[in-house]
Structure 1
């Protein structure tokens, strides 16, 4: 039974990638939806190639933008190496969206009617190690007296359920809006993108789980950045966005807490 429920093989390694572990920036960048890779055990989940490569499986461009910011500011980056279709690390285990049976227009055959053992196995293989890794990094930073500011990077589709989205850049927050407020003010002063607060999602949609877990609960400044994915579909767009966000974050970090 234990073998049947092994989510990742030894060859697949850890579900967590950490880059610039000793980065000097206060920023701790988190990318929960970095990859569309499905663990071998799950095959294609009954989905077409188009569906497996679409936004339902990952946040296209988000990891590239996160890496650009990490490189520019010497910031530690933590990313999930497997698709959110198996486990969405920005959702707690009890949330329906943690292991979705349907995403947008796509039913996900391999996620239908999951039993308690399978849900537990996925949680223990993907969610717990991912967030434990973030906690471990925070503890290391605290031990060496390094400030932590939590920033999560995501992307969203230009059209959702048939409706175009005008917003290009979303600055999201939960109860603590300190960093988001500064970023929105700075973005208004340099309006390269149409930028909105808590769009196209907000706390009411359950998207601030990671912020609450590692930012709000620790009293750290924090923000979730959502980028419309047509703007970051190639190297050029990713580079421009990473440069813009790096400048915005640096400017806001240099201000008062």
Structure 2
């Protein structure tokens, strides 16, 4: 299924395996570092357009592996989060940040209301519409659904090294996160932590709130340190490790996305 209501929607969002009948619905909000020509590169240096500030390196590749393994639909963003971060509400300053860590984003300075609304309409709204369309279709077909959002994070942030390797994040609904953390001893070589390196207090659970909790779906956000995703082999290996956490967690749940629940 492709969201095709407009050219802007076609370019803003990718839907993979829309008819997948597995239990999981995958989101990857920061799958791409693409900046459409109309934004003139946001005034960024090339190295910054390729950096973690612009996207989540490796996250889409891991999500694609999970999509195949779990027969899961995947909704992935096709536009850099520096244009619009689809894991933030329109009113959040971080939705169109003027600065990301130490990187200045000149093209996001002094945006007018009309410029902000254009990005909401052409980047954020299509992503949300594609996700809602899948959720509603699965509800109508009585397909039990849990929401899993896939991200990666940088090892060094503001000059400090992060020891955590895998973060299992949640907002007010912790059932799926709890079940995944219960399976963590199966990966003794990994440092796996709850709500690290970010948590709800950092405003990173927007997608969980509006696409998971608001629809009554169990949900979780997975963060993988991106130095562990340097090669295709790494990405496949980490996807298998995520399955080691996800499969027993899914089996332990009674999904709330069933229309008979």
Task: Provide the TM-score with structure 2 as the length reference.
Answer: 0.93
CA positional deviation for 1:12: 8.9
* Secondary structure of the structure 2 residue equivalent to 1:253: helix
Q: Is the 8 A contact 2:59 2:150 kept in 1?
A: yes
**CA deviations over 1:82-122 (Å, ceiling 9, x no partner):** 10111000000000000000111111111100000000110
Unaligned runs of 5+ in 2: 1-5, 255-261
- CA deviation after TM superposition for structure 1 residue 10, in Å: 4.3
* CA separation of 1:25 and 1:154: change in aligned 2, threshold 3 A: same
What is residue 234 of structure 2 aligned with on the other side? 237
3-state SS of 1:90 partner: coil
The structural deviation recorded for 1:243 is: 0.9
Match in the other structure for 1:227: 224
How far does residue 139 in structure 1 lie from its aligned partner after superposition? 0.6
1:216 to partner: Cα distance: 1.1
Partner residue of 2:191?
194
The answer to whether the aligner puts 1:113 opposite 2:110 as a matched pair is: yes
Residue 254 of structure 1: aligned partner? 251
Q: Are 2:9 and 2:123, in contact at CA under 8 Å, matched by a contact in 1?
A: no
The correspondence of residues 143-182 of structure 1 with structure 2, limited to 5 A, is 143-182=140-179
CA–CA separation in structure 2 for the residues paired with 1:69 and 1:16: 18
Change (3 A) 1:192 1:68: farther
**Alpha-carbon displacement from aligned partner over 1:134-190 (angstroms, at most 9, x marks no partner):** 011001001111011000000000010010000000000000000000101101243
Say how many residue pairs are matched.
Answer: 249
Compute the displacement of 1:11 (Å): 8.7
Q: Secondary structure at the match of 1:14?
A: helix
CA distance in 2, matches of 1:198, 1:213: 18
- 3-state SS, counterpart of residue 91 of structure 2: coil
Segments of structure 1 that go 5 or more residues without pairing to the other structure are 1-8
Say whether 1:80 aligns with 2:72. Answer: no
TM-score of the superposed pair, with normalisation by structure 1: 0.94
Give the superposed CA RMSD: 1.3
